[in-house]
Amino acid sequence: MIAAVLLSMVAPVFARSAKKDLSVNFYEKRIQDLSGTGLTLAFVFKVANSSSSPWYLTGYDYRVVVENAEYFTLRKELTQAISVGPSSTTLIALPVKITNDILFKAVPAAEGKDKLSCYLIGGMNFADDPRSEGDRMSMACSGDFPIYQDIQVVFRPLEVKDLTIGGGDMTFKAAVRNDNYFPIQVESLTYTLELGGTKVSEGPLAGVKSVEAKSEKEFSLPLLLDFFELGNALYAALKKPPVACTFSGEIVIGTDWGQFRMSLGKKDALAVTTVR
């Protein structure tokens, strides 16, 4: 009789269910490390725990399909589980490195396109004990990403108003070209300009604030050159055009995905024209 009473006082133990306590939903897509060689695409999922006890992410698997061709697959068991606390949410980012050279070989349809469609499908494993495998919860999302084209500098002929053995009065003209399908904001641009191997100007360029998609924005740099200071070699180079020109620097662009810092430059022979 006593044994029966004790047994009735022991509460039944039910196994916890991740599918009951947790929800996994796509939160956002992030683009990082944008450059002319590729980018990093991060798919972010929000995991919500409605229970009063923690759950642990112990591993995940997913594959990424670009333009209907499989580009990337991954299966990973975490050596240190990620905790999703009681009655809380956690963001989990799943990154994919997009390298253009590899992409164009794996996805022939990508060549020549401005942006590509893609989707991710896979699952996350959650356990109430970080040492166990747990339950698998499915996840999926879709989106697109750009094939970024590096910002270009396009030279115009050097406009020379006056040129003597002592100095010169001229204007360097060029354009910042954006070959992408989206506009950019020029947050900052610093440059160094060399003519004939001699530095003639440097500093911030304030004249370009934005460049629309598939277009360019011109700028000009007035130059008053002292050949006694800069050297006769520059004078000789300007007297026998075209003159070697190097425009180098750093640009910070603003896009819908955030700001990106990258190098900017061009080296080429520069035509010279006389203006009055």
Residue 4 has pLDDT above 80, yes or no: no
Greater pLDDT, 107 or 207: 107
Residue 95 has pLDDT above 90, yes or no: yes
Q: How far is CA 98 from CA 76, 85, 118, 238, 274, in A?
A: 19, 32, 12, 44, 47
For 15-47, write each residue's pLDDT tens digit: 678 999 999 999 999 999 999 999 999 999 999
Distance CA 124, CA 24 (A): 9
Q: What band does 6 get if pLDDT is binned at 50, 70 and 90?
A: very low
Q: Which of 64, 89, 217 is nearest to 145 (CA)?
A: 64
Please name each of the domains of the chain with its CATH number.
Answer: 17-146 (2.60.40.10), 152-274 (2.60.40.1820)
pTM: 0.84
DSSP string, 134-173: -EEEEEEEEEEEE-----EEEE--EEEEEE-SSEEEEEEE
